[in-house]
């Protein structure tokens, strides 16, 4: 048994020396060379709550157009996903303020990385499915606004560590063992949290191994686990997220399905969503 120190997040256990060598190879070949198309310092501006408006506006000049379009689309979903702001935001500063500065940073990074290669599309679909469903679950379970954000972003980045693994497979024209990927993607996820100076709670969600509750019921990490289980099962069975409308004509259900549909639509992953009509009772 080998271990790798993850600084404040403790030690990560590695099963064999061979596994350790492969992890180091993926790090040096892919993780250390990940290219966002801009310096990470560009989005580090969003870590500063006192950042000047003109500095925030300049960020958009560094982003790919597809990233910017998805970010605007996600910002304009806030009223559907539990925040009070209404109307559409188009100016970049308004988009950032609507999402929140730290969530905006996470979303810029996620849109940039998950859509950087065709080979990552299914991983992107799974991750954004978990984020959307996680947010809906957190809202339905009555979590506060901060924890709803933490569920959404934690679910979004839960499998982020698979990105360098998929790109490693592409570069080397090989397929990593599924057990290896499942066991070690949290390690790369935490390394990416460190690399891009993301909030610590995201690493803790990735490393979480227990279904946890806190003083108010389900913790944010527990709701992420629920979202992961729901999405994992659906993708294993159907290769997409499938939801069935159980009751015809119910306005609450219709609004919820509309929210889910719009969320998939604005990030360009609508083909990974199937909404089934209510089943007809047998006669």
Give me the mean pLDDT over the 59-84 stretch. 84
Cα(171)–Cα(177) distance, integer angstroms: 16
Q: How far is CA 130 from the centre of its chain?
A: 7
pTM of the model: 0.93
Tens digits of residue pLDDT in 196-208: 999 999 999 999 8
pLDDT-derived band of residue 244, with 50, 70 and 90 as boundaries?
Answer: confident
Taking the CB of residue 102, how many other CB atoms lie within 10 A of it? 15
In the three-class reduction of DSSP (H, G, I as helix; E, B as strand; rest coil), residue 189 is classed as: helix
Task: Retrieve residue 26's tokens.
Answer: 């993926």
Contact criterion met (CB below 8 Å) for 153 and 103: yes
**Mean pLDDT, the chain, as a whole number?**
91
The per-residue pLDDT for range 79-109, each reduced to its tens digit, is 555 554 555 666 899 999 999 999 999 999 9
For residue 83, the model assigns a pLDDT of 53
Q: Could you give the angle at which helices 101-114 and 65-75 cross, rounded to 10 degrees?
A: 140
Contact predicate 265/125, CB 8 Å? no
Closest to 36 in 3D by CA, of 97, 99, 114, 152: 114
What pLDDT, on the 0 to 100 scale, is given for residue 251? Answer: 73
By CB atoms closer than 10 A (0-12, 13-18, 19+), residue 118 is: exposed
Cα 76 to Cα 29: distance, rounded to the nearest angstrom: 37
User: Within its chain, how far is the Cα of 149 from the centroid?
Assistant: 11
How do beta strands 217-218 and 213-214 pair?
A: antiparallel
Asked if 266 contacts 77 with a C-beta cutoff of 8 angstroms, the reply is yes
Q: What phi and psi, each to the nearest 5 degrees, are found at residue 52? A: -75, 145
2: β partners: 14
Compute the distance between CA of residue 210 and CA of residue 123 in angstroms, rounded to an integer: 23
């Amino acid at each position: 048994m080998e271990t790798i120190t993850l600084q404040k997040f403790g030690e990560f256990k590695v099963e064999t020396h061979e596994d350790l060598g492969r992890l180091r190879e993926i790090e040096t070949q892919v993780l250390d060379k990940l290219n966002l198309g801009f310096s990470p310092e560009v989005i580090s501006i969003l870590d500063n709550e006192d950042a000047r408006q003109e500095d925030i506006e300049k960020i958009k000049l560094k982003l790919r157009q597809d990233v910017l379009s998805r970010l605007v689309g996600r910002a304009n979903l806030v009223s559907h996903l539990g925040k009070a702001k209404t109307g559409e935001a188009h100016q970049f500063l308004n988009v950032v303020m609507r999402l929140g500065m730290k969530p905006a940073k996470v979303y810029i990074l996620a849109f940039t990385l998950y859509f950087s290669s065709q080979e990552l599309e299914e991983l992107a679909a799974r991750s954004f499915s978990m984020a959307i469903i996680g947010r809906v679950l957190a809202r339905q379970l009555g979590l506060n606004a901060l924890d709803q954000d933490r569920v959404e972003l934690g679910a979004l980045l839960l499998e982020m560590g698979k990105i360098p693994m998929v790109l490693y497979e592409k570069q080397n024209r090989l397929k990593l063992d599924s057990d290896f990927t499942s066991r070690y993607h949290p390690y790369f996820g935490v390394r990416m949290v460190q690399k891009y100076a993301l909030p610590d709670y995201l690493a803790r969600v990735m490393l979480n191994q227990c279904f946890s509750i806190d003083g108010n019921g389900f913790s944010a990490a527990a709701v992420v686990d629920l979202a992961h289980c729901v999405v994992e099962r659906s993708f294993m069975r159907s290769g997409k997220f499938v939801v069935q409308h159980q009751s015809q004509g119910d306005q609450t259900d219709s609004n919820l399905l509309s929210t889910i549909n719009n969320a998939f639509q604005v990030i360009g992953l609508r083909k990974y969503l199937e909404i089934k009509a209510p089943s007809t009772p047998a006669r």
